[in-house]
């Protein structure tokens, strides 16, 4: 399986020009974490109405951040996102980003999910596509026929 790179860098364009996501990453980090987690859960849908501002992921992040363990659920979710999209990296890097660059890491996850969901919506549907001329069959090729010659029976 080939490994992909993140489509959005950790500190370069992660907010995607969206001031709301950038502010949420810095001032309401648990809320954006919850939104990014939900985006992964509903992928490939990009329906904003399905995404709540406060959910269990948000509350879990908030609770763990009160005792400086916010990096644990973030590492788990970041690893799940990376594995889902075959993004290059490892759990150690995920943990370091989660611990040292929390707002940028969550903004990167959220922007990555938005961009990939948007691209998934543009792809043509996969699966069976009927041929416009219908099914066609080739005539079978004639097979040479050989006579069956009985084997002589051994004398009794």
pLDDT in tens, 60-102: 999 999 999 999 999 999 999 999 999 999 999 999 999 999 9
What tens digit of pLDDT does each residue of 101-136 get?
A: 999 999 999 888 888 888 887 766 556 666 667 777
Percentage of residues of the chain with pLDDT beyond 70: 89
Q: Is the pLDDT score of 16 beyond 60?
A: no
> What pLDDT is attached to residue 69?
96
> What pLDDT is attached to residue 91?
95
74/58 Cα distance (integer angstroms): 11
Distance of CA 43 to the CA centre of its chain: 7
pTM: 0.72
> What pLDDT is attached to residue 130?
67
> What pLDDT is attached to residue 64?
96
Residue that wins the pLDDT comparison between 153 and 30: 30
Lowest mean pLDDT among 3-12, 34-43, 108-117, 142-151: 142-151
> What pLDDT is attached to residue 131?
65
63/68 Cα distance (integer angstroms): 9
94/78 Cα distance (integer angstroms): 6
Measured between its terminal Cα atoms, the distance across the chain in Å is 66
**Banded pLDDT at 140 (limits 50, 70, 90):** confident
57/63 Cα distance (integer angstroms): 10
**Banded pLDDT at 17 (limits 50, 70, 90):** low
Q: Is 124 helix (H, G, I), strand (E, B) or coil?
A: coil
Structure tokens, 98:
């989660």
């Amino acid at each position: 399986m080939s490994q992909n790179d993140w489509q959005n860098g950790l500190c370069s364009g992660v907010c995607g020009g969206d001031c709301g996501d950038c502010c949420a990453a810095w001032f309401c980090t648990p809320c954006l974490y919850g939104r990014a987690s939900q985006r992964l859960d509903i992928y490939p849908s990009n329906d904003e109405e399905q995404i709540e501002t406060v959910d269990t992921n948000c509350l879990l992040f908030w609770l763990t951040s009160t005792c400086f363990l916010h990096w644990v659920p973030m590492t788990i979710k970041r690893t799940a996102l990376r594995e889902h999209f075959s993004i290059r990296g490892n759990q150690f890097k995920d943990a370091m980003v989660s611990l040292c660059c929390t707002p940028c890491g969550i903004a990167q996850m959220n922007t990555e999910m938005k961009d990939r969901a948007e691209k998934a919506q543009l792809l043509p549907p996969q699966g069976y596509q009927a041929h416009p001329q219908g099914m066609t069959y080739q005539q079978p090729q004639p097979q040479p026929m050989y006579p069956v010659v009985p084997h002589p029976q051994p004398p009794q």
